[in-house]
A = this chain, B = another copy of it.
Amino acid sequence: MRLTDKQCSIEDAIARIQDGATVMLGGFGVPGTPFALIRALVRHGARDLTVIKNDANEPDMGVDHLLRSGQVARLITTHLGLNGHAIDLMNKGRIKVEFNAQGILAERIRAGGAGIGGFLSDIGIGTELAEGKRMIEFGGKTHVIEPALRADVALLHAARADSFGNLAYAATARNFNPLMAMAADCVIVEAEAVLSLGALDANDIHTPGVFVDHVTELAALSEEYAVVQR
C-alpha cells in the first residue's frame, strides 16, 4: 500500500470555489492565515461568500482583501478589533457579521468536523450572546444548543506537509487550522514546505492527511509573515 499524492497548483485548487460558497480560513491574527490562498481567491473572484475566521486580520491584509473586493456577504467571527475597515463595513450594513464566543466558534467547527449536529453549552447564558438561541434543559441544567459548523472549503496554512496532506503547524500558527481541516468538504492547504512521505514523524502530525484534499507548496513566504513592530 502507498498513499496518494495530493499536490496541485494553488489556482487549480481555488478554481473549485463557487459563488455563494462557505469558506473557512485558518489563522488567529497573522500566524496560520493562508495569505497566498486568500490572494488566489481574490483573483478567482468567487462572490457572495460566507467567510468563517477567528478575526478579519488587519486593514489591507488577508481577509481584508476579500472584504475590499466585495466578495464577502457574511462573516462568522469572534473579534474584529484589529481591522477598523471590517467594523466599518459591518456598521454600514455592507457585510453581515455573526459574532461567536471564541471557544464556541472553535467548538462549533470541531463539531462539524466530528460529524455531530451540535452541542450543549452554558456559555453566554444571561447575555446577549445567547439571545435567539434555542435553549434546552438537560442533566438538570439549562443549555443553549450550538449548531455544528461546516464549510464547502477550508483554506489552511501549515508549516510542513507531506504529499498525502499530513500537516504540522508551527507554534501558535496552529489555532483554528486543525479544526477547520476536519470540517470542510474540500480542504486546501498552503504549506511552507511539502516533504516526501515519511518525513513527518507519524506521532507528531497535527492534521492527518485523510482530512486534506489538496496541498500546495509556497514558492515564497507571504510578506505578511515578516515580523513587524505592531
Contacts and interface: CB of A to CB of B under 8 A. Distances in A.
Interface in A197-228: 201-204
A111 interface: yes
Contacts of A147: 138-139
Contacts of A136: 136, 145
B122 A119 contact: no
Number of identical protomers? 2
A168 interface: yes
Contacts of A204: 201, 203-204
Which residue of A120, A143, A147 has the most chain B CB atoms within 10 A of its CB atom?
A120
Contacts of A116: 107, 119-121
Contact of A139 (B117, B120, B170): B117
A143 B117 contact: yes
Interface of A: 107, 111, 114, 116-122, 134, 136, 138-139, 141, 143, 145, 147, 168-171, 201-204
15 contacts: A111-B119, A116-B121, A117-B119, A117-B120, A117-B121, A117-B141, A117-B143, A118-B143, A119-B120, A120-B145, A134-B138, A136-B145, A171-B202, A201-B204, A204-B204
Closest CB pairs A-B (n = 9)? A117-B120, A119-B119, A204-B204, A118-B120, A116-B119, A117-B143, A116-B121, A139-B147, A117-B138
